[in-house]
Structure 1
């Protein structure tokens, strides 16, 4: 039995020793291997996370995206949660499915409250798997609510309070007429996560003036002031 030899079309030549031809052959083989690998990954079985979630930084007012690559066949059911509480797909949180095997969560309009641990749960009839990562929120330092002006009697106690925010947590300082306030047995200030309080005991006429609170981190600074009058 003879084997027919197919003659190339007129003007067509193929040199298997040509580097470009060899390169094209390598790309075709690699593409086939990749297709075969993807087919093998989609064999029935419990979901697998092929590329885990990574921590991301979310700037206040912007959006962040958490994503991971998964293998699951049949197609899985996806649930995203934050600090153990399920997140609903909507205007704030958006479930995203990117072909062929990437699942993602977009967090919009970032605020400090978005800081936390996020978990994706991937489930199909053969099992469930999950992965977690953190969203780290960064926001410029801010005096959310400044202290109020006060009028006090000599010998009484003055308390000036300000609400503050910022991530990383800001440095905080108090000034009187542009001079740093030093703590002593009469004057002290406390700095919390969201507030700072300046306390002046046994107020004297020299304590009257313009009190300034300033906050600063690597993203910005802010200040506010109030006046204290002593009778």
Structure 2
């Protein structure tokens, strides 16, 4: 490998290294040549460096029961050992905590007691480097309606919006059914991301009972309302 001329200077046969880095660690070979032949000699340069983080973990929010990983990697010479603590103490043996060879902390089936501050430490004989992160564990929750749709009426040919809102963990997805059939987006119907059902150009065929369903990975809840279409074409 060729020398980096911006940092490796040769003077009178000697080698001078500026701004030494870990990449300078290794074997250097000196070559001497004349018309009688050539000789060479080698020398090992050992570069020592205190720990420095190459990947710093970030705060995370995880849903209860899910797996979360904190990446934490460091370099140095001698190579540092990565260790994790929680609130200044050892990791709980009852919890499913695993420190991978890369230094990553993995927590399986996160529970409320796993919430808190964690510290990643890179340790070597030349020093200790530390960084902290926060884990927030959100409890799982079935959907709960925060706004129920109400029975209402609409004139023939008019548009109408019907609201239906819910919350839960994870955030539930809201769908609408009529006569047991799920309503899909079309020129007649639209369901917003917040769960509002819009019916365009209402006609007699749109009259009836509509069901709002809020669903997440832990279950679902349902409620219904009745839409009456009034006007010349209504019977």
Partner residue of 2:105?
198
Q: Is the 8 A contact 1:142 1:223 kept in 2?
A: no
Partner residue of 2:49?
139
- What's the TM-score once normalised by structure 1's chain length? 0.56
Q: Deviations over 1:1-35 (max 9, x none)?
A: xxxxxxxxxxxxxxxxxxxxxxxxxxxxxxxxxxx
- What's the TM-score once normalised by structure 2's chain length? 0.55
Deviation at 1:185, TM superposition (A): 7.8
Partner residue of 2:196?
none
Q: SS in structure 1 opposite 2:131? A: strand
When residues 133 and 160 of structure 1 are mapped into structure 2, their CA distance, relative to the original with a 3 A threshold, is same
Q: Is the 8 A contact 1:148 1:226 kept in 2?
A: yes
Partner Cα distance (1:143, 1:109) in 2: 19
Partner residue of 2:90?
180
Structure 2: gaps of 5 or more residues: 139-235
Aligned mate of 1:212, from 111, 119, 124: 119
Partner residue of 1:158?
68
Comparing both structures, which one devotes a greater share of its residues to helix?
A: 1
Partner residue of 1:81?
none
Partner Cα distance (2:3, 2:75) in 1: 25
When residues 116 and 191 of structure 1 are mapped into structure 2, their CA distance, relative to the original with a 3 A threshold, is same
Partner residue of 1:87?
3
Q: Is the 8 A contact 2:73 2:82 kept in 1?
A: no
Q: SS in structure 1 opposite 2:110? A: coil
Q: Deviations over 1:34-78 (max 9, x none)?
A: xxxxxxxxxxxxxxxxxxxxxxxxxxxxxxxxxxxxxxxxxxxxx
What are the within-5 Å matches in structure 2 for residues 1-231 of structure 1? 85-87=1-3, 90-97=5-12, 103-181=13-91, 186-192=96-102, 196-231=103-138
Deviation at 1:117, TM superposition (A): 0.9
The structure with the larger Rg is 2
Deviation at 1:107, TM superposition (A): 1.2
Q: Is the 8 A contact 2:53 2:73 kept in 1?
A: yes
When residues 183 and 120 of structure 1 are mapped into structure 2, their CA distance, relative to the original with a 3 A threshold, is farther
Q: SS in structure 1 opposite 2:72? A: strand
Deviation at 1:145, TM superposition (A): 3.4
Partner residue of 1:58?
none
Structure 1: gaps of 5 or more residues: 1-84, 98-102
When residues 130 and 147 of structure 1 are mapped into structure 2, their CA distance, relative to the original with a 3 A threshold, is same
